[in-house]
Structure 1
């Protein structure tokens, strides 16, 4: 079936096409819906929804890897879950299942800064109604919506320590990913070179300086996210 095939014949994705704008619109409408319905999402009955979404994300990700295996395109150079959004997906599942505050702190930043950018400038080759199209947008939307859900409905808030933990987490992870990139000739987290499609990295200088620029930008944007979503107590004490 072509909607599950490895070729993108008839399904070539184009940035800012109708199918792309539909998903961008869905991102804003879904986020607005979570904010407006946040009081109704505070009951214990939502626990089943949380677990259900976690299972659906696992099924989608397993299905994605099976699709790559089936079509002979799985490759260690780009198929390992080492991209920032892949790690965010793992964090999303863990947060939904455990409700761990520290996991939330990392996910809030990686989802809003990473998954949002990925949705606006997707590195995607298959368009609607291909399976990969649904996998990409469903998983990325859920990363963001789950972060918003735990912020607005569950009352989780980042602290200034959250920014420090994020910076530490990513800088511990970075050399490991760089090593794996060398071993498998990969470009995970774009630490080997810039993506071939348009992205924010195009404005941050040549390799390897854009990595340092990205670190500085990460600190600035993380502080902005913290200022927006921090708790009332932190606001009152500053």
Structure 2
């Protein structure tokens, strides 16, 4: 079984750093972005299909409704189109919420090379890599419009998922109960931890928007490549 902060976790962190460096030195062209998007789909789609086969199917786990799943979808769209809205979702979700998987992974399944291990880390790492590449490689910068769009979309997702979780007895997004051994343990019981998390996320997203809004920055305009 996978152990947080064990050998495989350390290898994942090392791979993350190495690939990040490589992405930042690649030519930031539209072709590069689209090849990146196609590679993400090619790697992750078979895993998603596998989770929906009868042998693995469970309505509480198999649907791509976690925020990390939606972040990956947004990342693919952003890589293919350089859409401001998709890029904003990738940036804010990918570099804060999705990044928590690397710092405090909730995954407790089989270790490498099991498909569940590869799927979990593939989703999270690809989203973070896309966010970094789009922001510092291509140069698409966040702004307050993207910040507001992400807040609205995230709030709508949370409301819908809480109702869905109640209907099917699931816990997508950890909205109805906390995962074991996560940073949410610091935020109190349900529903207090949701309110604390929402306040922290709103503040954190504002903080990671501000540095890009100087007079020398171009909000959501590619700085490199086409």
Task: Report the TM-score range of the alignment, normalised by the length of the smaller protein.
Answer: 0.7 to 0.9
The yes-or-no answer on 1:122 pairing with 2:105 is: yes
The yes-or-no answer on 1:96 pairing with 2:85 is: no
Distance 1:115 1:155, change over 3 A: same
Measured in 1, the distance between the counterparts of 2:193 and 2:38 equals 36
The yes-or-no answer on 1:149 pairing with 2:138 is: no
Among 107, 111, 133, which residue is 2:90 paired with?
Answer: 107
2:70: which partner in 1?
Answer: 87
The yes-or-no answer on 1:212 pairing with 2:195 is: yes
Measured in 1, the distance between the counterparts of 2:79 and 2:45 equals 17
1:233: which partner in 2?
Answer: 215
**How many residues in Structure 1 have an aligned counterpart in Structure 2?**
217
Root-mean-square deviation over aligned CA pairs: 2.1
TM-score, with structure 1 as normaliser: 0.83
2:35: which partner in 1?
Answer: 52
Measured in 1, the distance between the counterparts of 2:178 and 2:100 equals 14
Structure 2 stretches lacking a partner, 5+ long: 219-226
The yes-or-no answer on 1:160 pairing with 2:144 is: yes
2:13: which partner in 1?
Answer: 24
TM-score, with structure 2 as normaliser: 0.87
Report the alpha carbon displacement of residue 107 of structure 1 after superposing the two structures with TM: 1.1
SS in structure 2 at match of 1:41:
coil
Structure 1 stretches lacking a partner, 5+ long: 1-11
1:9: which partner in 2?
Answer: none
Measured in 2, the distance between the counterparts of 1:74 and 1:83 equals 16
Measured in 2, the distance between the counterparts of 1:176 and 1:43 equals 37
Which structure has the bigger radius of gyration?
Answer: 1
SS in structure 1 at match of 2:98:
helix
Measured in 2, the distance between the counterparts of 1:178 and 1:20 equals 30
